[in-house]
Amino acid sequence: SKAEQEQQFPVELPRVTAAQPLTGLPDELVINIAGDGSMYLGKQPRTADELETELRAAVARYADQAVMIRGEAEGPYQHVMTALNICHQAGISNLRLANRVLSGAGP
């Protein structure tokens, strides 16, 4: 029956490529943040939810997955903070910022 056929072929196939053993370390993931706050994983545009989902999957594959956040210099720092929060929520601990000096020193 048609219903049985549909059950055999789920519409939403998981996009994570199946269990290949990791040979060496996975590449660092780069989150690029445009001046208007839009986020990209590499060159692919991502919503905050999509980004968190993909980062969670990366951490599930490799707990120490490295992530670099690269914000456009003229973009508000708030956008970078948003990306940092997404990384923390996804469980990324190996995290660095490009092109920005993070310092605890005053204003």
Separation between Cα atoms, residue 48 and residue 92, nearest integer Å: 15
pTM: 0.69
Q: How far apart are CA 101 and CA 97, in angstroms?
A: 8
pLDDT confidence of residue 14: 56
* pLDDT tens track for 7-45: 565 556 556 555 656 567 789 999 999 989 999 999 999
Question: What are the pLDDT digits (tens) for 39-72?
Answer: 999 999 999 999 999 999 999 999 999 999 998 8
Average pLDDT over residues 72-87: 89
Give the pLDDT of residue 41. Answer: 97
Q: Residue 31: which of 20, 43, 41 has the closest Cα?
A: 41
